[in-house]
A = this chain, B = another copy of it.
Amino acid sequence: MSFWTPTASTTTEGRFSVTATRAMCVGPEDVEFVMGGVAQAMAVDAAELATGKPLLWSTIQFNAAARNHQTIDIDVIWQSGGRSLSQVRVDVTADQKPVQSMFAALGARPGNTKQFIKMPTVDRPENCPRKDDPLIQTEGNLISEFDRRTAFEDAEVGLEYMWIRPVKSMPITAGLLALTSDFMLGAHRDTRGGTSLDNTLRVFSVEPTDWILSVTQMSGFREGVAMGVTHQFTQDGRLLSTSSQTGLLPRK
């Protein structure tokens, strides 16, 4: 149970609910809204609870955002699958209005594990400068729930390495990886303050770690739109996830 995890309805099959709090939100106080990554974390937790299986992949489409204090309902709708695999769609509403929708596959089959992507060599998080987000942080909102450190940043090649960990210790879950992977638009000076259209998350493992390293490589910017790929690692270099996003660049 993380601070965003919804509760199963006792009356409606596949429905989960949670009330939005400031800790789930970003943005100025008068327009604070639930961050897309938190919405995805809620939907991922609901899908895992509904199916009893671990998340393999999910893509969420951000159509709108829930506001602070709204009631968020999450409906897990079975699409296909069998004993070892489930494919679902998850619809998210805020005070009964649609805000996001997600596809996901969950499950596992016996098989080998092999990691191809390697973690780059980086300095320890304790030695890296703290990363702030003046555009979206306020006292007690989501940004204050995480400690972030910039390990490397090169805007010319579109690359950033960022350490991130929850201020209050919590286990590594697919939901936490969804949430933390949604910081992608913070990885480049030209994308900060932009608007994510989606997030695709592929979970490789949920190995325990204190800090997560997010390695973001922007693919490119096209006509006011950014796209990029993030890999997340444990502190000792085990792959946690592969994710990617498309987002609108901020209007200058």
Q: Are B157 and A221 in contact (CB under 8 A)?
A: no
Is A49 in contact with chain B by the CB < 8 A criterion? Answer: no
Q: Which residues of A in the span 51-65 have a Cβ within 8 Å of any Cβ on B? A: 56-57, 59, 61, 63-64
Q: Are B217 and A109 in contact (CB under 8 A)?
A: no
Chain B residues with CB under 8 Å of A120's CB are: none
The complex places the Cα of A205 from the Cα of B217 at a distance, in Å, of 18
Chain B residues with CB under 8 Å of A113's CB are: 220-223
Is A158 in contact with chain B by the CB < 8 A criterion? Answer: yes
Q: Are A220 and B116 in contact (CB under 8 A)?
A: yes
Known contacts being A200-B59, A246-B57, is A239 close to B223, with CB within 8 Å? Answer: no
Q: Are A242 and B227 in contact (CB under 8 A)?
A: yes
Known contacts being A61-B87, A111-B249, A197-B57, is A242 close to B224, with CB within 8 Å? Answer: no
Q: Are A246 and B56 in contact (CB under 8 A)?
A: yes
Closest to A157 in B: B116
Is A15 in contact with chain B by the CB < 8 A criterion? Answer: no
Chain B residues with CB under 8 Å of A244's CB are: 200, 202, 229, 242, 244
Is A112 in contact with chain B by the CB < 8 A criterion? Answer: yes
Q: Are B242 and A229 in contact (CB under 8 A)?
A: yes
Q: Are A198 and B157 in contact (CB under 8 A)?
A: no
Known contacts being A202-B219, A219-B231, A220-B113, is A225 close to B56, with CB within 8 Å? Answer: yes
Q: Are B202 and A246 in contact (CB under 8 A)?
A: yes
Please count how many residues in chain A sit with their CB below 8 Å of the partner chain's CB atoms.
Answer: 53
What residues of chain A have their CB less than 8 Å away from a CB belonging to chain B? 56-57, 59, 61, 63-64, 79-80, 85, 87, 89, 98, 101, 103, 105, 108-117, 157-159, 197-198, 200, 202, 204-205, 217-225, 227-229, 231, 239, 242, 244, 246, 248-249
Q: Are B248 and A197 in contact (CB under 8 A)?
A: no
Q: Are B101 and A197 in contact (CB under 8 A)?
A: no
Q: Are B85 and A63 in contact (CB under 8 A)?
A: no
Q: Are A116 and B158 in contact (CB under 8 A)?
A: yes
Chain B residues with CB under 8 Å of A221's CB are: 111-114
